[in-house]
Structures are given as structure tokens and as C-alpha cells.
Amino acid sequence: MANKRKVKDFLMRLVTYLGAAFSLFFLTVTLIYIVSNGAGLINLGLFTGDYHARYYGGRTESESSCIECSEPETYKGFYSPKYGIALYDDYDRAGNVVIRVSYVDAHSPFSLMQDTNNPSQTASLSIDDVVTRIAYYDQPSALTRNGAEMMILSLESSEDIREITFATLGGGIRGSLITTLYLIGLSLMFAIPTGILTAIYFAEFAPVNRLTNLMRSFIETLTGVPSIIYGLLGITVFIPITVRLNLSEGPNLFAGAMTMAVILLPVVIRTTEESLKSIPKSYRHASLALGANYTQTVRKVVLPNALPGIMTATFLAIGRIIGESAALIFVLGTAVKDRVRVTESSTTLSVHIWSVMTDEPANIELASSIALIILVIVLILNIGVKYMSYVINKKFRGVV
Amino acid sequence: MKTKNIFEIENLSVIYGETPALKAIDIDINEKSITALIGPSGCGKSTFLRTLNRMNDLIPECRVMGSVMIRGENCYENGYDIIGLRKKVGMVFQKPNPFPMTIFDNVAYGPRCQGVKNKETLNEMVLEALKQAALYDEVKDRLESSALSLSGGQQQRLCIARALAMKPEVLLMDEPTSALDPIATLKIENLIERLKKQYSIIIVTHSMQQAARIADYTAFFYMGELIEYGKTDQLFSVPKHKQTEDYITGRFG
Amino acid sequence: MLDTWKKTKTIKEKPRMLRIEDKVLYHVLLSIAFISASFVIWIAIFISIRGMMPFLTDNGGLGRVALWQFLTDTVWLRGQTFVSTAYGAGFLVLNTLYVVFLSLLISFPVGVFTALFIAKIAPRKLAYIMRTAVEMMASIPSIVYGLVGAGVIVPMIYSSARVFGTHSSGGNSTLAVVIVLAFMSIPTMTAVSEVSIRSVDKNLEQASLALGASNIQTQFKVVLIAAKSGIFAGAILAVGRALGEATAVSLVAGNSRSGPNFGLFDITSTITSTMLQGLKETSGIDYDIRFSLGVLLMIVIVVTNIVLNVVKRKVGKLNGE
């Protein structure tokens, strides 16, 4: 019997270990997957680059080769002394094979060309661009699938270039990054003051009665509403408001921020109220006893002491904004924009992930890179929240 | 007539981290009798009680030195079966703490943990324990209702029944009546006096009257030391030590 | 502060100016709090109105959507998009409840055992690591879960489907949705369970140990039982979240157009995934019907919550709470 019991005990213990291992395993898989797929694309260009590639066709003015061009000391791939450019094989942010420019000499004929799509304009090839085709009069075109080396060889052997087709890299997330920042700023602008004032009401003034309880439970209910429903709220209420105010014609950042603000309200209110409650009663009584009225007490004693709590609320709110997708898909739209205007639709980082994942074919690399960025930001915010709760604990320890 | 000892304790010291809680205690405890432990708060009487069924093991920084012999076996020896010890030495706590289950399940908990599955056996054990704890008549119609629906005194008797269901030899009681009203206290005291025919009972109490009323032997603890130990009437009428006298006459504590 | 506030109202000597200032502050705060509290009513009213429109208007000449068919039909749209209004969402409700139920079968035990591990079993350092890990899981946005689901789980299901002698269209399936939802719910389950496990009275544990139960027996037979109602509350929370999850589900569901889809390796669709399906290029009734789905979703969530709370109270009663 004792043995049977030991086996049972062991099994029960094992079950808890397995549960924990299971949780940990999934977190590890998630992190490994995101980092291994996403880390490769992370560089400065990803943050500053346009999402939509711009395509150019260029015709060289002079057909002569480049005499002044000198071979640079370091370059990637293969160099053409004749034309002063270097090309290399690479992958774009969707994982396709491309030939990219690693060097263009200032005197290269490619640095100043006539734009074939727009003959009155000039086009110039620059570093990081993607060369898709070089067409010649005297030999077959060199294409992406031939590789960078073949393209350079064909350049070297040709006297007469007809046209070079190239494009900017694309796949950058600058637009989504800016939208996210705008959305954070605007949402906080709506949510934080409303949330704080509501929290002050509940913590300092609300009488203990049915109405207060009802109001509290209404606000609590907001936490349980799925975010996709908030998206519908945005469409039925906030977008029409912005349209009525002549701010916009459809989905836009203002409406998105207002929607986000409603989503954030319960978090901001709860966190702020908790921090208000952790301020010792004696502080308030001391202020009132010194002849200050309630307004002054709130402004000078309560609010400054609630600051760490308000910071916590802000961090949590930012995390929520960055992670939100379902609501914003409705209110902000799904079209990735490079030039962001608050009165137009655009995508945040999260919606950008959804957008590229629902494209055909899905761009998992880019999505993972954005996810990695989001995870890093969220991690930093988490640390911020922890630090703030440490500050709050330290501040009021031992005070009644 | 010479009585047998259930516990023989030699040179027992307990240290919490850096603070000594018990200092070199030597005491023998008689079987089938009631021994009361008295003394001011923090004197170590509860700590002492908890060394007897090794409940102090749960406190991480607690170290125990010396020997506690139960029926001639040192229960602090390496590899001693703690669970077996706790089966032999039942415990009742200060606050009634029935599990959030039915009355039946509460009493059946201990046997079930030992692997008793047979329904009839369990039923028998539970009913016997409830009868012993003088609770059966009050709860016989509602064994399947929640233990938390009982009154405080009933809950405490349920906890006693729960301990009795394990058929222990010793019953440790840590101020079992301090959370109860006088009538419930009286019932428990009567119960304890009846139980001593079968069990060795060691009871920590704050109330000297309670010790005087029910205990056969009394031990007075002060600042982690065993000051005086002897027959209850002797200890209360002719204390040998000044500190004991001060305490029982209410000059401190 | 109100207690003092109410008392001072009766004190006449207070300077007038100050009292007005306080009164203004009070009423400003009250009205803002009112606005905050009113949003939930706005949501209910506005979305209900828009959600009812397809059933009440003729939808630009296409004719009304039949309410009963919408609630019970097993095909999302009989006829052509933008031409027909024969929508049916009955199977979506079944699919949604089905995937959420299955996901709870995973997340409930895993969450509870993880919580027990963190709170009671693990050595301190390991517990700290696990708690941090769970906190991290909780802060991962759902879209990232969807991405991992689409990138890891879906291909795994696709290749393992053959092992089970069946096939899966690209791996998008009920199983994928269930797994993604389960992993999303685990941190919620764990966090809530841990709090309620921790708040179990230490006396109960001691009583159990003193009765000769081993530590692990105590944890399973007393602590978990005593923490039952808190754990159940966590499950209700997790179910609520899973029912409303949209983007992550839409990335792995496969969007079936008829159902109910009970096969683990078959494509499926939930209320929320259908709301997002084809959103990039649609308008008119095909857009408006999503509001009706939204109303349906809210009804499903409210009803599920009520049912689970009734169950919780029944379970709690057995516990004597």
C-alpha cells in the first residue's frame, strides 16, 4: 500500500511538472520561431524603409563606359569596372531571390539616367535598390534569375544598354511604425485623462451606493467585451463622428484612437484607482487638516503620489495598443501606407502582421520581424510595469 | 502505579533561523492522560507541540536538535516515516479548519489519503469517529452537507473527529477552544476528558482555568524553557518555582 | 474622502469659494465617470441597431435576411455574394462553442497544474522563472499567437494529418484553432488559478498534513478543492477571451463556408473569423451582416457566461461557499 501511494504521489507531482513544462515549451517555441524567422530582416532599413516598392526604368545618357570610375575597397558581390556598379544576390523581405546594388560610383552612367516611364524626369540607381532586368541592344536581357554574377558579366560584354529596370526594396515598416506612434499618442490623449478622472471619482468621491456599484460593474464589463466588437463600435460611432466633423471620409487614425481609448479605459481606471487606494489616508487627512479643500488636496497630494500608478497604467495601455489588431482592422483599415495621415486609414504594426499574413502568399518573414519588434517593446513595457510596482511598494511601506 | 510514557524527550532545542525557540527541554509525557502546556505568548509551548508530530518541518529555517522518542523510537532520526508519525499523532488546531467538503468527506479524508477505498470500511470509520467526537447525533442527518455550514464549536468537534478517524495514539491540541464561545468550549472540554481513556492528549492552552479543570499534568514554559512540570494540582497549589507562581497568580503573562 | 466631504457639507463656516470649487470638481468628475460607465451601453445599443438592420430593411433591393435562417442555417451564404441574402450562422455558433470547449480541455489542466507547480511545488528559483514565463506569455499579443499558429502549428498539422490517415487542407483546421486558443488561454488560466491557490488558508494545508497526508496529496485533495471557485472563475475568463478572439483564429481556421465542422483536421470557421473573412474587399450587405454576427457573438458570450456562472454557483454550493 505504501508503494502504491508513492507511485500515486509521484504521478501527481509529475502532472504538475508536465503542465509547467508544456507552458514553458510553447513559450520557447514561440520565441525561437519569431526570432529565427524575424531576426534576419531586422536592420535600420526595415524601420526607415517604405513598404511599397517603387519601380523605375532607366536609360543611360551616354553609352560610353565609365572611365573615372574606380573600384571601391570593399563591396558585396560582383563589380563591373566598366559601369562602376557592384551587384549581389540577396533575398527581399518577402523571401524572394533578388539582385541588389551594393555600390554605385558617382560617375557611373547609372547614377543619372532618363526615366523611361516618365521621359521628362531623371532616374538614378542607388545602393540597396533591386535590379530586376538589364536589357541590351546587342545581346539578350540579363534577368534576376541569372544571378548577380551573370548580370555583371553581361554588362561587361555589352556596348549598348537599352534599359535597366529597378525598384526600391520595399517591405519596410516605417509607415506602420509611425501609425503605431500616432495611435499611442492620440489614444493616450483620450484615455489617460478620462481614466484618471474617473478613477479619482471612484477612489475619492464616489458614495457607497447602488449607482456607484452599477457604474463600476459597467466599466468592468468593458474588459469582457471582445476587441472585435470595439471595432464595430468604431465603425458605428467614431468613424461617423469624424466624418461629421469633416476630418475624414472613412477609416482613420482619429477614430482608431477613440476606439482604442474605450478599450483602454477599464485598464487605466483600475490601475489608477488601485494606486490611489494605496496612498495612505493620513496624507489626505493631513492636507485637509491644514485647511486645504478637496480640489487642492486632490491636485497637490493625491495626484502627485499616484504618479507611479499612472505610469503603470500608461505602460499597460501602450502594450495593449501595440498588441491590438481585431478592433483596428475595422476602424483603421488594412491597407499598409507609407505616408501616414491622421485623417486617413493606415496600419499599426499588429495590423501590418495580419495584413501580410492574409496576403497571398503570406509573408511570414516580415510578419515575424514585426512580431519580434512587438515582443521586444512589450518586454520593455513589462519591465517598466515591474519597476513601477517596486517604486509604489517602496514608497508607502510602513505608512498608515 | 507507575504510568507508561508515550513521549520521552531529551535535550530538545528548536531554532528559527537565529532565534532559539526552545532550549534544552527534557520531559516525559504520560500516556492515556491529559497534559496541558501553559505559559505566556511566545514561550515556545506551541513550538513544542509542533515538534511532536514534526509540523515544524514545514518552516524552512527551523532546526531541531535533541531527541523526541515516541514509544522508544526517535522520530527525528534520518529516514523516519513522517507520515506514519502524523498518523500516530493527530492534531487539532486553534481555529476550526474543516476542509471545504462535505462532513463525511472531511472525516474520511485521512483514511482515504492512506488508500482506504472500501465504502463500508470508510462509512464505519467515519461514523465511529463522529460518535467518539460527540458530533454524530447533531450531524447524522446531513453527512452530505458542507462542513462549513456547521457552527464553530461543531466545526472544532468535526476537526477532532477527523483526527480520531486516523485512530491515533496521541492527540495534540493547539488552543482548541480559543476561538469558541463558553458553551462550545465546555462541550469540547467534556469531550477531551472522555477521550483520555483511549488517547494521550497534549493540549496547549492560554487559559489556566482550563488547564486546572481538565489536565492531569501541566508543564509551564517560559522564554523557551521548561520551568516546571508536574501533576496539575501540585503545580497550581504548590509551585516550586517563583516564575510559575508569578504566572499562575497572574502577575505576568 | 467622501465621508469627510459629506460632513463638511453641513459646516456653514467654510469659505464659500472653496466649497464651490469642490462642488465643481465633484460634478466634473461625476460626469466623466458617467461617460466612462456609459460606453458599454452605447456598444450594446449601437451595435444591436446596426446588427438588426439586415433583418429589417430590404438591403438595397436584395431583400431582407431571414432571422430564423440566419440563426439556424448550416451554410453561410446560399447563393451568390452581393446577390443573395440567405445568410446562415447557426453552424458558426456551434463551431465557436466547439473549438472553445476543446481548447479549454487543454488550457484548463495545463493552466491549473502550472499554477500549482508555481505556487506550491517548484523550488523558489524555478517558480520565479515559470512565473516570469507565464507573465511573458500573457503579454504576447494575440496576433503573434496567430502568426506562430500559422507558421508552426498549421504546417505540423498538415504533415501529421497523413500519419493519422486523413488529410488537411494546408493544415488550417479545427485542431489548429483549438491549439492556438488553448495556448492563448493558458496564461489567463494560470494567473487566476495561482492567485486562488495562494489564497487558500494555510491552516487547511496544515490540517491535512497533520492527518498524515503527503504534501502532494494535500495540494491535490485540499488546496485545489478549496481553490475551486477561483479556478472556475479563471476558466470563465479564459472562455470569454477565447470566444471573442478574432485575428489569431482567422489566420489558422481556413474559413469553411458551411458546417458545423467537427472534424479535427477539417477547416472550420468561427463567428469572429467569419467577421474578418474577406473584409479587405467587400461592401453592402456582405459588410453589414458582420454587425449581425457581432450581435450574435455578444449573445453567445453573455449566455455562456450566465450558464457557466450558474454551474459555478452549483459547484460552489457543494463546497459550502
**Of the candidates C201, C210, C213, which has its C-beta nearest B90's C-beta?**
C210
A61 has a pLDDT exceeding 80: no
Assigned domain for C233 exists? yes
Assigned domain for C91 exists? yes
pLDDT digits (tens, 9 = 90+) for A104-144: 888 888 888 888 888 888 888 888 888 888 888 888 888 88
- Which of A302-316, B114-128, C56-70 is the least confident region? C56-70
A318 has a pLDDT exceeding 90: yes
- The answer to whether residue A47 neighbours chain C at the CB level (below 8 Å) is no
- The answer to whether residue A1 neighbours chain B at the CB level (below 8 Å) is yes
Q: Do A233 and C276 touch (CB under 8 A)?
A: no
Chain B residues closer than 8 Å to A1 by CB: 114-115
Give the mean model confidence (pLDDT) for residues C279-301.
87
- The answer to whether residue A378 neighbours chain C at the CB level (below 8 Å) is yes
Give the mean model confidence (pLDDT) for residues C9-25.
59
Whether residues C152 and C230 share a domain: the answer is yes
Domain of C17, in residue numbers: 2-56
Q: What is the 3-state secondary structure (H, E, C) of C252-275?
A: HCECCCECCCCCCCCCECCHHHHH
C-alpha A331/C-alpha A326 separation (Å) is 9
Whether residues C156 and C253 share a domain: the answer is yes
Whether residues C248 and C136 share a domain: the answer is yes
Question: What is the crossing angle of helices A174-200 and A253-277, to 10°?
Answer: 40
Q: Do C137 and A26 touch (CB under 8 A)?
A: yes
Higher pLDDT, B81 or A230: A230
Chain B residues closer than 8 Å to A7 by CB: none
Assigned domain for C262 exists? yes
Q: What is the nearest CA distance from A1 to chain B, expressed in angstroms?
A: 7
Q: Do C208 and B99 touch (CB under 8 A)?
A: yes
Q: What's residue B3's pLDDT? A: 63
Whether residues C236 and C288 share a domain: the answer is yes
pLDDT digits (tens, 9 = 90+) for A247-305: 888 889 999 999 999 999 999 999 999 988 888 888 888 888 887 888 888 888 888 88
A284 to chain C: nearest residue by CA? C1
Residue C225's identity, in one-letter code, is I
Point out the domain boundary residue: C10, C39, C56: C56
Q: What's residue A285's pLDDT? A: 84
A4 to chain B: nearest residue by CA? B115
Q: What's residue C298's pLDDT? A: 94
**Of the candidates C212, C222, C317, which has its C-beta nearest B99's C-beta?**
C222
Question: Residue C297 is part of a domain; what is its CATH number?
Answer: 1.10.3720.10
Whether residues C50 and C102 share a domain: the answer is no
pLDDT digits (tens, 9 = 90+) for C162-183: 888 777 778 889 999 999 999 9
Q: What's residue A206's pLDDT? A: 86
C-alpha A22/C-alpha C109 separation (Å) is 11
- The answer to whether residue A210 neighbours chain B at the CB level (below 8 Å) is no
Whether residues C190 and C51 share a domain: the answer is no
Other Cβ atoms closer than 10 A to A3: 7
Partners of residue A87 on adjacent β-strands: A78, A101
Assigned domain for C108 exists? yes
C7 has a pLDDT exceeding 60: no
Whether residues C127 and C272 share a domain: the answer is yes
Among A6, A7, A17, A26, the residue to mutate for chain C (most C Cβ within 10 A): A26
C-alpha C76/C-alpha B35 separation (Å) is 79
Chain C residues closer than 8 Å to A5 by CB: 214
Query: Which pLDDT band holds residue C44 (cuts at 50, 70, 90)?
Result: very high
Number of domains into which chain C is organized: 2
C279 has a pLDDT exceeding 80: no
C-alpha A53/C-alpha A57 separation (Å) is 13
- The answer to whether residue A5 neighbours chain B at the CB level (below 8 Å) is yes
Q: What's residue A95's pLDDT? A: 77
Is residue C169 within 8 Å of C157, Cβ to Cβ? no
Assigned domain for C236 exists? yes
- The answer to whether residue A245 neighbours chain B at the CB level (below 8 Å) is no
CA distance to A278, C100, C115, C171, per residue, from C103 (Å) = 38, 5, 18, 17
**Residue B207, SS3?**
coil
Whether residues C8 and C114 share a domain: the answer is no
Domains of chain B from N-terminus onward: 5-248 (3.40.50.300)
Chains in contact with chain C (at least 3 beta-carbon pairs closer than 8 A): A, B
Instruction: Pull the grid cell for residue B168.
Output: 491515533
Is residue A284 within 8 Å of A301, Cβ to Cβ? yes
Chain A residues closer than 8 Å to B115 by CB: 1, 4-5
Chains in contact with chain A (at least 3 beta-carbon pairs closer than 8 A): B, C
What are the CB-based long-range contacts (under 8 Å, 24+) for C263-266? Answer: C263/C166, C263/C173, C263/C174, C264/C173, C264/C174, C264/C175, C264/C178, C265/C157, C265/C161, C265/C164, C265/C166, C265/C167, C265/C168, C265/C173, C265/C174, C265/C175, C266/C168, C266/C173, C266/C174
Name every residue in B having a CB less than 8 A away from some CB of C. 53, 55, 58, 83-84, 86-87, 90-91, 93, 95, 97, 99-102, 109-110, 112-114, 145-149, 159, 162-163, 166, 172
Assigned domain for C140 exists? yes
> Radius of gyration of chain C from Cα atoms?
25
Whether residues C125 and C195 share a domain: the answer is yes
Strand ranges in B44-116 using DSSP code E only, listed in sequence order: 62-70, 73-74, 89-92
Among A3, A4, A5, the residue to mutate for chain B (most B Cβ within 10 A): A5
Q: What's this model's pTM, rounded to 2 decimal places?
A: 0.86
Whether residues C33 and C164 share a domain: the answer is no
Mean pLDDT of chain A: 87
Assigned domain for C81 exists? no
Chain C residues closer than 8 Å to B149 by CB: 320
Average pLDDT of adjacent 10-residue blocks, chain B of 253 residues: 76 88 89 90 87 84 87 84 87 89 91 88 92 89 89 91 90 89 90 90 90 91 90 89 85 58
Assigned domain for C106 exists? yes
What is this model's ipTM?
0.89
- The answer to whether residue C100 neighbours chain A at the CB level (below 8 Å) is no
Whether residues C236 and C170 share a domain: the answer is yes
C84 has a pLDDT exceeding 70: yes
- The answer to whether residue A161 neighbours chain C at the CB level (below 8 Å) is no
C-alpha C153/C-alpha C172 separation (Å) is 9
Q: What's residue B252's pLDDT? A: 60
Chain C residues closer than 8 Å to A285 by CB: 4
C-alpha C318/C-alpha B184 separation (Å) is 26
Q: Do B87 and C208 touch (CB under 8 A)?
A: no
Whether residues C182 and C261 share a domain: the answer is yes
Give the mean model confidence (pLDDT) for residues A196-213.
90
Chain B residues closer than 8 Å to A4 by CB: 115
C8 has a pLDDT exceeding 60: no
Instruction: Pull the grid cell for residue C306.
Output: 450566465
Q: Any idea what DSSP says for residue C12?
A: S
- The answer to whether residue A298 neighbours chain C at the CB level (below 8 Å) is yes
Query: Which pLDDT band holds residue C14 (cuts at 50, 70, 90)?
Result: very low
C-alpha B118/C-alpha B121 separation (Å) is 5
